Amino acid sequence: MEQFWKITLDLCVGFGETLKIFFITLAMALPLGLIISFGSMSKFKPLAFLTRGFVWIIRGTPLMLQLITVYYGPGLVFKQMLFTAPMAVYITFTINYACYFSEIYRGGIESITKGQYEAGQVLGMTRRETFFKVILLQVVKRIIAPMSNEIITLVKDTSLARVVTYYELIYFAQRYTKNAGLLWPLFYTAVYYLVFTAILTLLFRWLEKKLDYFKA
Amino acid sequence: MNMLEVKDLRKRFGDNEVLKGINLTLKKGEVLAIIGSSGGGKTTLLRCLNFLEKANSGEILVGGRSVYRATEGEKPEVTPEAQLSFGLVFQQFNLFPQYSVIENLMLAPKLRAKRKTTQGERETPEAIRERAEKLLATVGLSEKANAYPCQLSGGQQQRVAIARALMLSPDILCFDEPTSSLDPELTGEVLRVIRSLKSSDRTMIIVTHEMEFARHVADKVIFISDGIIEEQGTPEEVFGNPQSEKTKAFLSAGQKV
Ligand SMILES: Nc1ncnc2c1ncn2[C@@H]1O[C@H](COP(=O)(O)OP(=O)(O)O)[C@@H](O)[C@H]1O
Ligand SMILES: [Mg+2]
């Protein structure tokens, strides 16, 4: 029993590392995704083309492969590691998720009728004001469902970080298998993921309720 | 002096010429009704006046000052002042759904007051709210100030949209078929509000299929067909004694319905 609590606490530390990936990725990928979505919708065709090509590559290849490329790639090319494991993880996750988010943003932004932009214009609002004061919240309301899917996937994708020696929850659990022949801590990690995704689910449901007061 | 003068306004979409040289003048306080069958270019004309489309050529003068002047292959930038000399009420209202009625009215004036480039005295939020409350009373919706657009009927939404446009005190307020997307029993309340806005210092342009309304409220009527002004004059002239064959055909077709 004592061992159970000791391992539970130790795994909490591992889960802290998992959460670090989660929150850093989210904090950087949410705004970056918006910028990428602007790029992919740009009227300047070469920019739109390049952005969409980039998004296609990122979404079309496994995250694990991207992690390995960012972490080991520079070493192979320049004979010199460029990033520490955490840096490689944060960079790769951020870019990968920003690309997924950008497509969700794009769908949301393109679904807003042009009447909303035109109303802003004839009321003398700038395009920027119209976007941030009028369009954005309507987009947020429309993308909550696909966003929550993507964000819950991110929780579980963090486990891929261990392929570049980032010590996250699963890695912590596997140490018990290797060093003490204990298998249960590995399965026990599922509880951490489940509790956290349950919290996220409740959070998204709350947000959805909160925006229920208007139709868009 | 003319409040509005439009000189040889032309607009093309691809090689489809939709406005083929529109000329018109309007005095301060006048109400202009634009009639004509669908596809004639009425909406495009209002959209060009509000710079939602940029005319390919022609000139627009407000109060004697040129606010837009385009020549073939050269479309000017639209200044904020030019934009604000016109207001537009859309057929589909286009209220901002996430804002309450009063917030819909206050949003643009508040942003304008905040903008650094605004010269002269900045309107305070209290003053803006006071004006918004007055205008809501004007359109008869004081008790809906805190309602959201989705809680209002179409007629009420359109009245809010009218009040919202008036908040910016445009020199010329345009309406594009303001009652066409409303149930018949709701058109009356909107037309009554528009009629009540008529005053010596409010110049308005109304695209409408409500011939009775045009006849009684407008000072001037123009009939647009195929991108040109087929006929213009006072309501008595246009409705009572139309000259053009097309106008006659349009008006008699309307009467049969
Ligand atoms: N954005 C656009 N692109 C291409 N054609 C357009 C556009 N807007 C209007 N048109 C065309 O212009 C013509 C006039 O349309 P419109 O101004 O809406 O007429 P009305 O309001 O009198 O019914 C129509 O033939 C329509 O197809
Ligand atoms: Mg029209």
Q: What is the mean pLDDT of residues A61-84?
A: 91
Radius of gyration of chain A (CA): 21
How is chain A split into domains, by residue range?
Answer: 2-210
Question: Is residue B37 scored above 60 in pLDDT?
Answer: yes
Range of the domain at B177: 1-85+170-257
Please tell me whether residues B174 and B81 are part of one structural domain: yes
Which residue does chain B place closest to A139, by CA atoms? B98
Please tell me whether residues B80 and B178 are part of one structural domain: yes
Please tell me whether residues B75 and B116 are part of one structural domain: no
Between A55-59, A184-188, B6-10, B202-206, the lowest mean confidence (pLDDT) is in: A184-188
Question: Is residue B78 scored above 50 in pLDDT?
Answer: yes
Asked if the Cβ–Cβ distance from B108 to A123 is below 8 Å, we say yes
CB A165 within 8 Å of CB A175:
no
Please tell me whether residues B78 and B175 are part of one structural domain: yes
Question: Is residue B254 scored above 90 in pLDDT?
Answer: no
Q: What confidence tens digit (pLDDT) does each residue in B81-95 have?
A: 999 999 999 999 999
Question: Is residue B256 scored above 80 in pLDDT?
Answer: no
Supply A115's token pair: 């009447």
Whole-number pLDDT of residue A113? 94
Q: Torsions phi, psi of B209, nearest 5?
A: -105, 5
Listed residues B168, B191, B211: the one ending a domain: B168
Percent of chain B clearing pLDDT 70 (strictly above): 97
Q: What confidence tens digit (pLDDT) does each residue in A83-112 have?
A: 999 999 999 999 999 999 999 999 999 999
Please tell me whether residues B182 and B74 are part of one structural domain: yes
B203-207, strands of its sheet edge to edge: B86-89, B172-176, B203-207, B31-35, B220-225, B228-233
Please tell me whether residues B20 and B37 are part of one structural domain: yes
Helix (H, G, I), strand (E, B) or coil at A214: coil
Angle at B70 between CA B67 and CA B76, to 5 degrees: 65
Listed residues B109, B143, B168: the one ending a domain: B168
Q: What is the mean pLDDT of residues B214-240?
A: 93
Would you say residue B91 lies in a domain? no
Number of folded domains that form chain B: 2
Question: Is residue B36 scored above 50 in pLDDT?
Answer: yes
Question: Closest ligand 1 atom to the C-alpha of B40?
Answer: 22
DSSP 8-state class, residue A211: T
Whether the CB of A212 is below 8 Å from some CB of chain B: the reply is no
* Separation between Cα atoms, residue A124 and residue B79, nearest integer Å: 10
* Separation between Cα atoms, residue A27 and residue A33, nearest integer Å: 11
Question: Is residue B199 scored above 70 in pLDDT?
Answer: yes
Between A59-73, A200-214, B61-75, B157-171, the lowest mean confidence (pLDDT) is in: B61-75
CB A59 within 8 Å of CB A36:
no
Structure confidence at residue B146 as a pLDDT band (50, 70, 90): very high
Please tell me whether residues B132 and B26 are part of one structural domain: no
- Mean model confidence pLDDT for chain B: 92
Please tell me whether residues B29 and B40 are part of one structural domain: yes
ipTM reported for the complex, 2 dp: 0.93
Listed residues B130, B149, B168: the one ending a domain: B168
- Mean model confidence pLDDT for chain A: 94
* Separation between Cα atoms, residue A211 and residue A143, nearest integer Å: 12
CB B45 within 8 Å of CB B34:
yes
Please tell me whether residues B124 and B144 are part of one structural domain: yes
CATH number assigned to the domain comprising residue B250? 3.40.50.300
Whole-number pLDDT of residue B257? 46
- B2-38 burial code (b ≥16 CB/10 A, e <16): bbbbbbebbbeeeeeebbeebebebeeebbbbbbbbe
Would you say residue B92 lies in a domain? no
Please tell me whether residues B257 and B174 are part of one structural domain: yes
A124 CB neighbours in chain B (<8 A) are 80, 83-84, 108, 112, 168
Smallest CA–CA distance, residue B168 to chain A, in Å, is 7
Asked if the Cβ–Cβ distance from A116 to B96 is below 8 Å, we say yes
Supply A45's token pair: 């065709």
Please tell me whether residues B133 and B180 are part of one structural domain: no
Whole-number pLDDT of residue B119? 64
Predicted structure pTM score: 0.88
Q: What is the mean pLDDT of residues A122-144?
A: 95
Whole-number pLDDT of residue B18? 95
Report in angstroms the alpha-carbon separations of A112 from A57, A89, A143, A175: 27, 35, 12, 50
Helix (H, G, I), strand (E, B) or coil at B238: helix
Would you say residue B70 lies in a domain? yes
Whole-number pLDDT of residue B110? 94
Specify the CATH number for A2-210; select among 1.10.8.60, 1.10.3720.10, 3.40.50.970, 3.40.190.10. Answer: 1.10.3720.10
Supply A6's token pair: 């000791």
Q: Nearest by CB to B108, which of A125, A137, A141? A: A125
DSSP letter for each residue of B45-66: HHHHHTTSS--SEEEEEETTEE
Task: State in Å: Cα A193 to ligand 1 middle.
Answer: 55
Q: Which residue among B9, B10, B11, B13 has the greatest number of ligand 1 atoms within 8 angstroms of its CB, and so is best to mutate?
A: B13
**Burial of residue B55, with CB atoms counted within 10 A of its CB: 0-12 exposed, 13-18 middle, 19 or more buried:** buried
Question: Is residue B120 scored above 80 in pLDDT?
Answer: no
Residue B5 φ/ψ region, left for φ over 0, alpha for ψ in the -120 to 50 degree band, beta for the rest: beta
Please tell me whether residues B31 and B108 are part of one structural domain: no
B94 CB neighbours in chain A (<8 A) are 113, 115-116, 118-119
Whole-number pLDDT of residue B118? 55
Would you say residue B106 lies in a domain? yes
Q: What confidence tens digit (pLDDT) does each residue in A4-60 have?
A: 889 988 998 999 999 999 999 999 999 999 999 999 999 999 999 999 999 999 999
